[in-house]
């Protein structure tokens, strides 16, 4: 079990652990699932006395965590050589012809950051607390392939002033010249095939360093996670917070690109029904969005149900991502969900949008 024990095997050492054969892995998975379902059948979901069993918390956590690892598996499969995995993809919606403002403006004010007590949330999403934010502008959509291509063509990867000190050192060491799956002939590798780079899709598989460099090149910055959450969840006319950008109703295909249906992002303006109260599009689904914020605890944080989920990553240089991707299960995502990763990671389904003081 050491291969699968994240608490005992640090990330840096997992590549050196022995791998199970396919038949062994499938057998192990079947045994674990069988035991889990047996425990679920015998469990009391009406609300136990302890915090783990209350209203089925532990089962909700298990389902969500499995869905998160489902996305991680797809990241790994995409890293494999072309042809190893051949997903069946549904067609994605066409881009809209209707125009719109390039940015949305979010007014200054006090905002309740984090999840309330009424629904399931991980320990890093709570407690909900008030933060005061200045007014800011946010890109209406995520940065597209076409926009990022301009940065590449302008020599942005070689302009020192576009990069932070750490980012410039990372770029030099990694030898990065373009997003991870872009080719030097203007195409993009998507699992088992390559396609011409589609300008209307959100740029993906860029590190935090690359996102930050692009924002500097544009004379802008990455939003903080509090800014991102306010733009996604606050409804100023109702003076209330939404669970999703469009409201409290669950996701569906006309609102967000989730659940691995197309195995790729959709055009950035394809899901008009998913707009936030401020008019921002695509805040949930398509691509995770890097924020400027370091991953850390909210005031009053208490580790639960196990400290290895969140607490061990605080203060270790991880950056917060928000919003989910095409590979994220709809059951998992919400406006308050906090993902995190190291700023040099590119294999995750991550893009970004820019912000500015405003």
pLDDT digits (tens, 9 = 90+) for 168-202: 999 999 999 999 999 999 999 888 788 899 999 99
Q: Which residues pair with 307 in a beta bridge?
A: none
Neighbouring C-beta atoms of residue 182, cutoff 10 Å: 22
Across residues 272-301, what is the average pLDDT? 98
Q: Given this model, what pLDDT does residue 191 score?
A: 81
Contacts of 134 by beta carbon, 8 Å cutoff, 6+ apart: 108, 357
Residue 244 has pLDDT above 90, yes or no: yes
> Is 274 within 8 Å of 282 (Cβ atoms)?
yes
Give the model confidence (pLDDT) of 202-241 as tens digits.
Answer: 999 999 999 999 999 999 999 999 999 999 999 999 999 9
Residue 329 and residue 344 in contact, taking contact as beta carbons nearer than 8 Å: no
**In this structure, which CATH number among 3.40.50.620, 3.30.465.10, 3.30.450.20, 3.90.1580.10 belongs to the domain 43-358?**
3.90.1580.10
Q: Is residue 75 a contact partner of residue 107, using CB atoms and an 8 Å limit? A: no
> Model-level pTM?
0.91
Alpha helix segments (H runs only) across the chain: 11-14, 22-42, 57-79, 145-153, 165-174, 208-217, 225-233
User: Predicted confidence band at 4 (pLDDT cuts at 50, 70, 90)?
Assistant: low
**C-alpha to C-alpha distance for 172 and 174, rounded to whole angstroms:** 6
What is the tens place of the pLDDT at every residue in 89-136? 777 777 776 566 799 999 999 999 999 988 889 999 999 999 999 999
């Amino acid at each position: 079990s050491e291969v699968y024990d994240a608490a005992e095997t640090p990330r840096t050492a997992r590549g050196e652990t022995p791998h199970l054969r396919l038949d062994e892995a499938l057998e192990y998975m079947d045994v674990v699932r069988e035991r889990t379902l047996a425990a679920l059948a015998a469990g009391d979901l009406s609300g136990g006395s302890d915090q783990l069993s209350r209203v089925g918390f532990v089962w909700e956590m298990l389902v969500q965590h499995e869905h998160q690892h489902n996305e991680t598996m797809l990241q790994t499969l995409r890293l494999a050589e072309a042809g190893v995995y051949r997903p069946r993809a549904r067609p994605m919606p066409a881009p809209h012809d209707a125009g719109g403002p390039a940015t949305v403006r979010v007014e200054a004010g006090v905002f309740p950051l984090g999840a309330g007590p009424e629904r399931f949330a991980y320990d890093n999403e709570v407690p909900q607390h008030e933060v005061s934010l200045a007014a800011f502008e946010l890109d209406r959509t995520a940065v597209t392939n076409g926009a990022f291509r301009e940065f590449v063509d302008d020599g942005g990867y070689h302009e020192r002033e576009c990069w932070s000190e750490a980012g410039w050192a990372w770029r030099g060491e990694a030898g990065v010249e373009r997003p991870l799956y872009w080719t030097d002939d203007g195409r993009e590798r998507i699992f088992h095939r390559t396609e011409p780079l589609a300008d209307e899709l959100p740029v993906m598989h860029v590190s935090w360093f690359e996102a930050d460099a692009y924002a500097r090149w544009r004379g802008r910055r990455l939003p903080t996670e509090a800014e991102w959450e306010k733009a996604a969840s606050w409804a100023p006319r109702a003076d209330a917070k939404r669970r999703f950008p469009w409201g409290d109703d669950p996701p569906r295909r006309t609102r967000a690109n989730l659940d691995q249906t197309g195995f790729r992002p959709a055009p950035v303006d394809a899901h008009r029904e998913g707009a936030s109260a401020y008019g921002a599009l695509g805040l949930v689904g398509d691509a995770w969005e890097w924020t400027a914020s370091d991953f850390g605890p909210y005031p009053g944080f208490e580790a639960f149900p196990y400290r290895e989920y969140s607490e061990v990553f605080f203060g270790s240089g991880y950056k917060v991502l928000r919003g989910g991707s095409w590979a994220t299960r709809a059951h998992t995502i919400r406006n308050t969900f906090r993902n995190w990763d190291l700023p040099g990671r590119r294999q995750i389904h991550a893009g970004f949008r820019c912000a500015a003081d405003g």
